[in-house]
Copies of this chain bind each other. A is one copy, B any other.
């Protein structure tokens, strides 16, 4: 649909908001309140934390900085043992960046600082205004996040591609699982008859994944595993699209049940499952981390 030209009032309203907001929240302060890191260093650490296994080039694009400068910056952060640069098996030129433990605690510390500042502002607000403010910002977030061009597509994974391994890696980090699959396991899984994996993509960027796994202990059933949507892509119904693909596939296989396990804490995930017709059931496996079990009749 061809959008109508933006009304000038809209534009200046946003411009004014930007100026006001950055000033009020101190978003442009050079020395990031914390003596130890510059604003750019802090942003770099945060970006690596948010996107483990990011490459320097991707970082450069998202921070819009010079390659040379980034290179030195990363060298310095590595020297200070805040990040780790590991060789990529896919492309020997690039290095995959991850936070070290102390890098993670540095990010946590930076967040704390920024939180203190935000908290001081929120505390001057009456509770209902506070709710109102959060809701307004979240609405803005949602609208802008969804506005990114392109359609989310769901792709079946046939081979253990780097992209598939990378998103699984991210999933593991996000849920802190202890027992991780090895790359070879994915290959094995994909070749099992009733098992499969899907990726959600926007252009070429992977937004999330889900795995359907054979469940030999229960007749005519399979298990939904590794449902994960990257934080940056949430609110775009990516999980819904992934589950649609998974369930359709299961139906084609003439399965009767999808089982899954999860944790009581994951309220939004549980809400989604319930909304899709999953209902609580008894423990069906011995996953020690899981506290909640659900299933759906197809």
Interface residues of A (CB under 8 A from B): 1, 3-6, 8, 10-30, 39, 43, 46, 50, 62-65, 111, 114-115, 118-119, 121-127, 129-130, 132-134, 136-141, 143-149, 231-232
Contact = CB atoms under 8 A, between A and B. Distances in A.
A20 B124 contact: no
Contacts of A124: 3, 147-149
B134 A1 contact: no
B21 A43 contact: no
Contacts of A63: 28
A18 B10 contact: no
Task: Tell me the number of copies of this protein.
Answer: 2
A24 B23 CA distance: 17
A11 to B, nearest CB: 5
Contact of A126 (B1, B127, B129): B1
Nearest to A133: B143
A231 to B, nearest CB: 8
A6 B119 contact: yes
Nearest to A66: B30
29 contacts: A3-B125, A6-B118, A6-B130, A8-B115, A11-B118, A12-B111, A14-B118, A14-B122, A15-B111, A16-B141, A17-B138, A17-B140, A18-B27, A20-B141, A20-B145, A20-B232, A21-B21, A21-B141, A22-B22, A24-B144, A28-B28, A28-B43, A28-B63, A125-B143, A129-B146, A133-B140, A133-B144, A136-B137, A140-B140
Nearest to A137: B17
A22 B47 CA distance: 13
Given A11-B118, A23-B62, A144-B133, A127 B17 contact: no
A114 B15 contact: yes
B139 A136 contact: yes
A143 B132 contact: yes
Contacts of A141: 16-17, 20-21
A145 B144 CA distance: 22
Contacts of A19: 46, 50
Contacts of A4: 127
B10 A134 contact: yes
Most buried by B among A6, A63, A231: A6
B25 A18 contact: yes
B137 A14 contact: yes
Contacts of A20: 141, 144-145, 232
